[in-house]
Amino acid sequence: MPTVASTGAALLVPTLFAQGAITNNMFSTNYDLASGNPYIYFGGFEASMLTGNITYISLNTKNGFWDLNGTNIQYNNKSMGTFTVATIDSGTSYAYFPSSIVS
């Protein structure tokens, strides 16, 4: 089971899934602060919030982080570029991408 890199603690979502508390080993977030109702949804996603298609990708968790391996990032149907590894931290507002695609 994946763990937190710095402490070795088990990650919440895989633990909930292994215990049968959620039906899918996934979660989604909504950071739309304009609505005044940001949320995290464990075990799936809120379909009514979607405005397009979802693309599922595998995460590399062997280093204790949620790393995305070599993909193309798009926003509003425009490519932001490709990268080898990017790290997503859903517990904060941080997402680490190579400067070549976010500068």
CA 14/CA 11 separation, integer angstroms: 6
Boundaries of domain holding 65? 55-103
CB 37 within 8 A of CB 48: no
The model's pLDDT over 52-69, given as tens digits with 9 standing for 90+, comes to: 888 777 777 777 677 777
Q: Is 0.85 surpassed by the pTM of this model?
A: no
**One domain for residues 99 and 63:** yes
**One domain for residues 43 and 72:** no
The model's pLDDT over 15-31, given as tens digits with 9 standing for 90+, comes to: 899 999 999 988 888 77
